[in-house]
């Protein structure tokens, strides 16, 4: 009987420790995941749902997380897969989205000129081909290094760095072209 009680206590402690680690993970990365979801979807309610689904899947697969050091990349990968899964199932109904709704969640405190520049930058990034847009967004929004992006996208570091370089050049050309039109 004593061994059964000890085993039950160990399981309870292990579950409590797992839950604490998971809650710390949510606390540490929720804002980053939500910001990237907003950037991907450009629709706050969908981004909230996507963020929630990401963390639900993370909880279910929490035992597969090998290291806390790779937690952020692991969560971003889950988020990207969840976003892709949405479009595999069905084509969402498209609504007209107000320009202000498309802004990143923390862009609300900007002055009107800064808000306009942020919107131009956001549109320019969205106009890049996915092979350039995705690594750039992971670096700028997610704060990932070239090696981390390579691991997430299953690319070698040189390819990632080349794509980031080209993405910045294309972005610069797009933005210079829009400034000339003003």
How confident is the model over 110-142, as pLDDT tens digits? Answer: 677 777 887 788 888 888 998 999 899 888 888
From 47, 77, 97, give the residue that closes a domain. Answer: 97
Let me know: does 64 contact 96? Beta carbons within 8 Å. Answer: no
Give CA–CA dist 16/12, Å, rounded.
Answer: 6
Domain span at residue 172? 104-182
Asked if 109 and 70 sit in the same domain, the reply is: no
pLDDT at 91: 53
Cβ 105 vs Cβ 35: under 8 Å: yes
Give yes or no: residues 58 and 13 share one domain: yes
* Confidence band of 89 (pLDDT split at 50, 70, 90): low
| % of the chain surpassing 90 pLDDT | 34
CB 40 within 8 A of CB 47: yes
46-66 confidence digits (pLDDT tens): 999 999 999 999 999 988 888
| Cα gap 157→148, rounded to integer Å | 9
CATH code, 115 = 1.10.10.10
Segment 39-50 mean pLDDT: 90
First to last CA, the chain: 81
**Are 14 and 89 found together in one domain?**
yes
Same-domain check for residues 113 and 39: no
CATH number of the domain to which 87 belongs? 1.10.1740.10
Closest CA to 57 of 27, 35, 26, 31: 26
Q: Are residues 54 and 108 in the same domain?
A: no
């Amino acid at each position: 009987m004593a061994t059964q009680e000890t085993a039950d206590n160990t399981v309870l402690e292990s579950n409590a420790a797992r839950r604490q680690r998971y809650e710390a993970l949510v606390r540490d990365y929720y804002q980053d995941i939500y910001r990237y979801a907003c950037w991907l979807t450009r629709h706050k309610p969908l981004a909230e749902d996507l963020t929630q689904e990401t963390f639900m899947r993370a909880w279910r697969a929490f035992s597969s997380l090998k290291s806390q050091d790779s937690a952020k990349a692991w969560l971003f990968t889950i988020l990207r897969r969840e976003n892709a899964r949405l479009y595999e199932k069905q084509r969402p109904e498209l609504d007209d989205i107000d320009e202000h709704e498309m802004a990143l969640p923390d862009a609300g405190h900007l002055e009107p000129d800064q808000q306009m520049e942020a919107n131009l930058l956001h549109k320019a990034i969205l106009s890049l081909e996915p092979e350039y847009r995705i690594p750039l967004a992971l670096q700028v929004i997610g704060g990932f290094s070239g090696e981390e992006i390579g691991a997430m996208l299953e690319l070698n570091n040189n390819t990632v760095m080349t794509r980031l370089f080209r993405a910045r050049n294309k972005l610069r050309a797009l933005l210079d072209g829009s400034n000339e039109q003003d």
